[in-house]
Amino acid sequence: AQTVTQSQPEMSVQEAETVTLSCTYDTSESNYYLFWYKQPPSRQMILVIRQEAYKQQNATENRFSVNFQKAAKSFSLKISDSQLGDTAMYFCAFISTYNTDKLIFGTGTRLQVFP
């Protein structure tokens, strides 16, 4: 069975600094998608970034980028120039292209950005 692990329950960073959130996953499949979702205090889950496993190039979205290491099954999220509005829970998620009934979520990392 596929699993997603986020080993950092909580992290903090100072405004304007860079922070990296870790995510590892376990799968025997070669083709899949990985996602990072953000859940701010408003509780509205928002898609931050998406990576396709067959693409070697790491995805980027403005200040957000990923370090996708397929062999190591690692998918970390880097937030550059952190802003107070980045304070949120961040969830890593996985979906297989072969068994795509549902997304599998990690347990989340709570990020606090300090002024």
Partner 1 sequence: DVKVTQSSRYLVKRTGEKVFLECVQDMDHENMFWYRQDPGLGLRLIYFSYDVKMKEKGDIPEGYSVSREKKERFSLILESASTNQTSMYLCASSLFFLRGATNEKLFFGSGTQLSVL
Interface with partner 1, residue 57, by CB under 8 A: no
Binding window for partner 1 (CB under 8 A); candidates: 15-23, 59-67, 75-83, 89-97 = 89-97
The region, left, alpha or beta by phi > 0 then psi within -120 to 50, assigned to residue 62 is left
Residue 82 or 109 with smaller CB distance to partner 1: 109
24 phi, psi to nearest 5 deg: -125, 155
Q: How far is the CB of 14 from partner 1 (least distance, A)?
A: 25
Sole binder of partner 1 in the list 9, 56, 71, 85 (CB under 8 A): 9
Task: Check residue 33 for interaction with partner 1 (CB under 8 A).
Answer: yes
Instruction: Out of 36, 88, 90, 108, point to the residue binding partner 1 (CB under 8 A).
Output: 108
Chain residues in the site for partner 1 (CB under 8 A): 4, 6, 9, 32-33, 35, 42-47, 50, 52, 91, 95-97, 100-103, 105-108
